[in-house]
Chain A
Amino acid sequence: MTGATFVGMPAFPEAARAALADSQLRHNLAHATGTIRGKRARVVGELDDWEELRTRAAGVKDAALADLETHLLTLEERLTAAGATVHWARDAAEASAVVAQVARAHEVDEVVKVKSMATVEIGLNEALAAEGIAAWETDLAELIVQLGDDLPSHILVPAIHRNRAEIRQIFVDKMAAAGRPAPDDLTEVPSELANAARLHLREKFLRAKVGVSGANFAVAETGTLVVVESEGNGRMCLTLPEVLVSVVGIEKVVPTWAELDTFLQVLPRSSTGERMNPYTSTWSGVTPGDGPQEVHVVLVDNGRTRALADEVGRQALRCIRCSACLNVCPVYERTGGHAYGSVYPGPIGAILNPLLKGVGVDEQVDSLPYASSLCGACYEVCPVKIDIPSVLVDLRAQVVDAHRGGRPSVEAAAMKGAGQTFASSRRLGLAQRLTGLGTGLARRLGLAPAWSSARDLPTAPPESFRAWWRRTDGGRS
């Protein structure tokens, strides 16, 4: 069980400095994010209605969030009618307690898990471990993270910071203590490493009585949960155990079945850069004679209603966790995910963590809105059009206010103004080209104290940062 935790992580600038000093990490990250960027661009380019799909995806999510109570009640009713048991959890502890309760009721000392950010967010593995229940991660990257007693660093590829030699070493050293040992002659060829994971996990899948999942989407009208994956470990966890518990954030709601099609088009293209991911499973409660005959769904708040109440930040709840914004972020590419101190790293993490947790409480969280150069690349790739730069600027104002006892400050007012400039990434791009200000603009407006003081900001360059980034493919050419 992992002993690693994000709790008590240093603030972003400090954590980022350590990451920047790690050249292996930077090499792994640059290679990985560059590869995904290229794949994504190719498959997005195949669709001539991509912009329309983004607008539609954003619109469906906005409508779902605006009327969330109605949709949640429908979801609960449909799930219940389909034989599932619905639970509600205000916070992480309540959500974990439900899962532990189900596991205890079946007297198991282990559960198999399919990758789920929500369960990492609520600290489920640690909560189960405290009750003597082992939670086995079955996604290859999550397995690498778990066996390596490590933390995830990317939404899609949590072990993106590890190269093949490191992964081989982790398998050789750690698999035996967790179950079937790694083959004696294991090399660092990726197909061999994948096969070692297949063998190691197969015995766990075959004997598991309780499976734990998240859900990418929850269709209210039909009570249908959706899990999008690649390896088949998700299908194993969703299908073979007798009991299934799915931990679902309340923002995952899609009102109707027909509206799901938009997300099944934009998610795989944005995420793995494929026309479609290898496996998508959908199920509505219990199917007699097929799969788990006892199905639980835990609907989790844990800060989501706080984000929902924030009129600017609310849009962050549209996020479908594709990770496209991480892969284009110049800050993420250089610091990696750990510096963000959360399961949600990168641009989305820089807004989602403060929105879920609130500002003015934790220095680490308060530093996140500054972990950006406001270049706008994240907004351009986001399949649900979350205007991350504008939310960042608004959150910076909130952080400043929180540190001044809530009094609106001069900086806060300046940021509100800047927020309007940044409200459209096109307008920001235009402003940069016209003024040649780039990052200098942020500095002049006093926008980036914590983050920019941690690095030496150059004087405003003749070419904006964003223009340079695009011209040079992120500094590679």
Chain B
Amino acid sequence: MAAYGRGSLVSARDEVLRRVREATASATATPPARESREPRPGDVDRFAERVADYKAVVERCGPDEVEARIAAALDGAVAVVPDGLGYAVPGSVPDDGLSATDLDGIDAVVTLARVGVAETGTIVLDHGPGQGRRALSLVPDLHVCVVRADQVVADVPDAVASLDPARPLTWISGPSATSDIELDRVEGVHGPRTLHVLVVG
């Protein structure tokens, strides 16, 4: 393996594996059986409620209202938009290889999502078309995220089953938050401090 980890570390591998082998020589355990199941559609009302529980802004709208709702959510803020968004965002900046510092100078980002999870109010991005690379939905302070009602699945197992682990995934449940100061929840630390979700259809 290229530049690092030669020399004594090669034998570290063999030794760790040997220790593992010896330590587990008499161990047996069978993994619990699981039934494979098809992802079930989730309850969209429940999804919207639970996203809102995290102090995110949630709006339901029809497909023809999306662009107006995006504009209202941005309220004049400049947004970066990924390729393949499919909605016109006037005054937006395309992501043409912006640096992290460039992104830090941009107020907002508008993306699509891959999956919504009703039970937990979670949105998952797989950073495919319309979702942008990971930095895009991280550095700007306002994230406007468009989720189609038919993307909402019932629960976490359904979400895991419908996602491709070869892609980078970001599971988002509300705006960034911390409870590190006396367990008081504060919304907004390093990620976007405002999450605005549009549930379409």
Residues of chain A at the chain B interface (Cβ within 8 Å):
28, 31-32, 35-36, 55-56, 59-60, 62-69, 72-73, 80, 82, 85-90, 94, 98, 101-102, 105, 138-141, 144, 157, 159-160, 163-164, 167, 190-191, 193-195, 197-198, 201-202, 205-206, 219, 222, 224, 230-233, 235-236, 238-240, 250, 255, 257-261, 264-265, 272, 274-284, 287, 289-291, 296, 299, 301, 305-306, 308-309, 311, 314
B165 within 8 A of A: yes
Given A194-B189, A206-B100, A231-B177, residue A278 in contact with residue B54 (CB < 8 A): yes
Taking CB atoms and an 8 Å cut-off, the chain B residues in 47-92 that contact chain A are 50, 53-54
Residues of B13-63 contacting chain A, CB below 8 A: 13, 15-17, 19-24, 26-32, 34, 36, 50, 53-54
Q: Which residues of A contact B20 (CB under 8 A)?
A: 68-69, 72, 250, 305, 308
Question: Besides A36-B183, A202-B190, A275-B53, 19 other CB < 8 A contacts?
Answer: A32-B183, A85-B4, A101-B4, A141-B180, A144-B180, A157-B180, A159-B180, A194-B186, A230-B179, A235-B170, A259-B31, A261-B159, A265-B157, A276-B121, A281-B168, A281-B169, A305-B23, A306-B23, A309-B22
Q: A68-B24, A101-B4 are in contact. Are A240 and B100 (CB under 8 A)?
A: yes
Contact of B176 among A98, A160, A275, A279 (CB under 8 A): A279
B135 within 8 A of A: yes
Query: In the complex the two chains form, is B189's CB within 8 Å of A67's CB?
Result: no
Q: Output the least CB separation between B46 and chain A (Å).
A: 11
10 residue pairs from A and B, CB less than 8 Å apart? A69-B24, A98-B4, A164-B181, A205-B190, A236-B138, A257-B165, A283-B169, A291-B135, A296-B4, A314-B27
Most buried by A among B15, B101, B133, B166: B166
B171, A66: Cβ atoms under 8 Å?
no
Q: Is B148 an interface residue (CB 8 A)?
A: no
Alpha-carbon distance A37/B133, docked complex (angstroms): 37
Give Cα A67 to B20, complex, Å: 9
Q: Give which listed residue, A56, A201, A261, contacts B156 with CB less than 8 A.
A: A261
Once the chains bind, are A194 and B181 in contact (CB under 8 Å)?
yes
**Interface contact A301-B16, CB-CB below 8 Å:** yes
Q: What's the least CB distance linking A448 to chain B, in Å?
A: 29
Q: Do the beta carbons of A55 and B32 come within 8 Å of each other?
A: yes
B16 in contact with A299 (CB, 8 Å): yes
| Chain A residue with the shortest CB-CB distance to B170 | A281
Contact between chains at B12 and A89 (CB < 8 Å): yes
Name the B residues within 8 Å of A89 (CB-CB).
9, 12, 16
Closest B residue to A76 by beta carbon equals: B13
Interface on B for A, CB 8 Å cutoff? 1-5, 8-9, 12-13, 15-17, 19-24, 26-32, 34, 36, 50, 53-54, 100-101, 104, 117, 119-122, 127, 133-135, 138-139, 156-157, 159-161, 165-184, 186, 188-192
Q: Determine whether the beta carbon of B190 is less than 8 Å from that of A231.
A: yes
Residues of B within 8 A of A280 (CB): 169-171
Question: A194-B188, A257-B165 given as contacts; is B5 within 8 A of A87 (CB)?
Answer: yes
Expressed in whole angstroms, the minimum distance between the Cβ of A226 and any Cβ of chain B is 9
Question: Of A86, A232, A299, which is within 8 A of B1 by CB?
Answer: A86
Beyond A88-B13, A232-B189, A236-B190, whether A222 also contacts B180 by CB under 8 A is no
A-B contact count (CB 8 A): 260
B24 CB contacts on chain A under 8 angstroms: 65-69, 308
B122 to chain A, nearest CB (A): 5
Alpha-carbon separation in the docked complex, A86 to B179 (Å): 34
Q: Which residue of A lies closest to B119 (CB)?
A: A275
- Name A158's closest neighbour in chain B (CB-CB): B180
Contacts of A31 in B (CB 8 A): 182-183
Given the contacts A63-B30, A141-B180, A231 and B173 also touching, CB distance less than 8 Å: no
Q: How far is the CA of A260 from the CA of B4 in the complex (A)?
A: 30
For B191, give its contact among A139, A190, A279 (CB under 8 Å): A279
Distance between A476 CB and nearest chain B CB, rounded to angstroms: 15
Contact between chains at A287 and B178 (CB < 8 Å) = no
Q: Which residue of B28, B133, B177 is within 8 Å of A278 (Cβ)?
A: B177
In angstroms, Cα B56 to Cα A393, docked, is 47
For A308, the closest partner residue in chain B by CB is B23
- Tell me if A140 and B178 are in contact (CB < 8 A): yes
Please give me the 8 A-B residue pairs with the lowest Cβ-Cβ distance, nearest first: A232-B191, A232-B190, A305-B19, A309-B23, A232-B176, A63-B31, A308-B23, A280-B171
Contacts of B22 in A (CB 8 A): 305, 309
Judge whether A60 and B138 touch: CB under 8 Å. Answer: no
Report the Cα distance A60→B157, complex, angstroms. 15
> Which residue of A65, A198, A281, A284 is within 8 Å of B189 (Cβ)?
A198
CB pair B5–A265 under 8 Å, yes or no, is no
Asked if A258 and B4 make an inter-chain contact with CB atoms under 8 angstroms apart, the answer reads: no
Tell which of B100, B179, B186 touches A272, judged by Cβ atoms closer than 8 Å: B179
Residues of chain B contacted by A219 (CB below 8 angstroms): 165
Cβ B183 vs Cβ A35 within 8 A: yes
Report Cα–Cα, A202/B9, bound state, in Å. Answer: 35
**CB distance A190 to B186 under 8 Å?**
yes
The smallest beta-carbon distance between A333 and chain B, in angstroms, is 14
User: Out of A69, A87, A222, which one reaches B166, CB within 8 Å?
Assistant: A222
**CB closest chain-A residue, reference B134:** A239
Residue in contact with A88 in the complex, picked from B16, B119, B122, B173, CB distance below 8 Å: B16
Check if B165 sits within 8 Å of A282, measured CB to CB.
Answer: yes
- Give the residue of B16, B27, B175, B176 whose beta carbon is less than 8 angstroms from that of A65: B27
> How distant is the Cα of A89 from the Cα of B19 in the complex, in angstroms?
12
Docked CA distance A259–B30 (Å) = 13
Which residues of A are found within 8 Å of B160, using beta-carbon distances? 257-258, 260-261, 264
Chain B nearest CB from A314 CB (Å) reads: 7
Contact A87 to B4, CB < 8 A, known contacts A230-B177, A258-B34: yes
Q: Within the complex, what minimum Cβ distance (angstroms) separates A384 from chain B? A: 12
Q: Would you call A59 and B32 a contact (CB within 8 A)?
A: yes
- For A222, list chain B residues within 8 Å (CB): 165-166
Residue of B at shortest CB range from A283?
A: B168
